[in-house]
Amino acid sequence: MMENPRVLELGVQDLPDLMRLEQRCFSYHWSEEQYRLGLERGAFQVWGVHAHGSPVAYLAFSIVVGEMEILNLAVHPAFRRQGLAAKLMRSLMTFCREQKVEQGFLDVKRSNHPAIALYRRFGFEQYGVRKRYYPDTKEDALLFRCDFLGHTTPASKP
Ligand X SMILES: CC(C)(COP(=O)(O)OP(=O)(O)OC[C@H]1O[C@@H](n2cnc3c(N)ncnc32)[C@H](O)[C@@H]1OP(=O)(O)O)[C@@H](O)C(=O)NCCC(=O)NCCS
Q: Is 108 in the site for ligand X (CB under 6 A)?
A: yes
Q: Is 104 in the site for ligand X (CB under 6 A)?
A: no
Q: Please name the helix (run of DSSP H) or strand (run of DSSP E) that holds residue 56, with its range, or none.
A: strand 54-64
Q: Is 86 in the site for ligand X (CB under 6 A)?
A: yes
Q: Is 5 in the site for ligand X (CB under 6 A)?
A: no
Calpha distance 55→18 (Å, rounded) = 7
Cβ-contact 20, 100 below 8 angstroms: no
Task: Pick the binder of ligand X from 121, 134, 140, 145 (CB under 6 A).
Answer: 121
Task: Pick the binder of ligand X from 117, 149, 155, 156 (CB under 6 A).
Answer: 117
The nearest distance, CB 86 to ligand X, in angstroms, is 3
Q: Is 96 in the site for ligand X (CB under 6 A)?
A: no
The CA radius of gyration of the chain, in Å to the nearest whole number, is 15
Identify the three-state secondary structure at position 20. helix
Q: Is 51 in the site for ligand X (CB under 6 A)?
A: no
Cβ-contact 87, 118 below 8 angstroms: no
